[in-house]
Amino acid sequence: MTKSVKFLGVFFLFSSAVAQVEIKTKTDIAGQDKLYVLNQINFNSQNYELVAKTIWNYAELGYLEIRSSALLQDILSKKGFKIESGVADIPTAFIATYGSGKPVIGILAEFDALPGLSQDTVPYKKPLTNGGSGHGCGHNLFGTASTAASIALKDWISTYKKSGTIRLYGTPAEEGGGGKTYMVRAGLFNDVDAVLHWHPSDRNTANAESCLAVIGANFRFYGQSSHAAGSPEAGRSALDGVEAMNYMVNLMREHIPQEARIHYVITKGGLAANVVPDYAEVEYMLRHPDVNGLNDLWKRVMNTAEAAALGTGTRMDHEIISGLYNLLPNETLSKLMHINLTRVGGVNYTSVERDFAEKIQGSFTYNYPSLEKAQIIEPNKISFFPASTDVGDISWLVPTTGLGTATWIPGTAAHTWQAVAADGMGIGMKGMINAAKVLAMTGTDLFNTPSLIEQAKNEMKKKQGDSFQYKSLIGNRKPPLNYRVLR
Q: What is the pLDDT along the chain (487 residues), one digit of tens a residue?
A: 344 444 454 444 434 443 333 333 333 434 899 999 999 999 999 999 999 999 999 999 999 999 999 999 999 999 999 999 999 999 999 999 999 999 999 999 999 999 999 999 999 999 999 999 999 999 999 999 999 999 999 999 999 999 999 999 999 999 989 999 999 999 999 999 999 999 999 999 999 999 999 999 999 999 999 999 999 999 999 999 999 999 999 999 999 999 999 999 999 999 999 999 999 999 999 999 999 999 999 999 999 999 999 999 999 999 998 999 999 999 999 999 999 999 999 999 999 999 999 999 999 999 999 999 999 999 999 999 889 999 999 999 999 999 999 999 999 999 999 999 999 999 999 999 999 999 999 999 999 999 999 999 999 999 999 999 999 999 999 999 998 986 4
Q: Which CATH number fits domain 213-323: 3.30.70.360, 3.40.30.160, 1.10.3720.10, 3.40.50.720?
A: 3.30.70.360
Cα torsion angle, 308, 314, 319, 322, sign: negative
* Cα 109 off chain centre by: 8
How do the domains of the chain map onto residue ranges? Answer: 3-210+327-464, 213-323
Q: Is the peptide bond before 103 cis (omega within 30 degrees of 0)?
A: yes
User: Burial of 182 by CB count in 10 Å (0-12 exposed, 13-18 middle, 19+ buried)?
Assistant: buried
The string of DSSP codes covering 61-115 is PTT--HHHHHHHHHHHHHTT-EEEESGGG-TT-EEEEEEESS-EEEEEE----BT
φ/ψ (deg, to 5) at 412: -70, 135
* Residue 187 one-letter amino acid: G
The 10 Å Cβ neighbour count of residue 122 is 14
3-state secondary structure of 7: helix
The pLDDT assigned to 486 comes to: 60
Distance (Å, rounded) from C-alpha 473 to C-alpha 390?
Answer: 11
Residue 224 main-chain phi, psi, to 5 deg: -135, 125
- What distance, in Å, lies between the first and last C-alpha atoms of the chain? 28
Q: How far apart are CA 398 and CA 191, in angstroms?
A: 9
What are the beta bridge partners of residue 224? 236
pLDDT at 151 (0 to 100): 98
Residue 420 amino acid letter = V
Query: In angstroms, rounded to a whole number, what is the distance separating the alpha carbons of residues 400 and 171?
Result: 15
- Taken as a whole, the chain contains a residue count of 487
The answer to whether 346 and 429 have CB atoms below 8 angstroms apart is no
Sheet holding 315-324, edge to edge: 261-268, 279-288, 213-222, 315-324
Which CATH superfamily groups domain 3-210+327-464?
Zn peptidases (3.40.630.10)
Is the distance from CB of 404 to CB of 200 less than 8 angstroms? yes
128 secondary structure, DSSP code: S
302 Ramachandran zone, left/alpha/beta (phi>0; psi -120 to 50): alpha
Rounded CA-CA distance 417/175 in Å is: 16
pLDDT of residue 88: 98
Residue 435 identity (one-letter amino acid):
A
Rounded to whole angstroms, how far apart are CA atoms 342 and 204?
9
- Which sign does the torsion angle of CA 229, 232, 238, 240 carry? positive
Would you state the pLDDT for residue 324?
Answer: 97
CA distance 72 to 92: 11
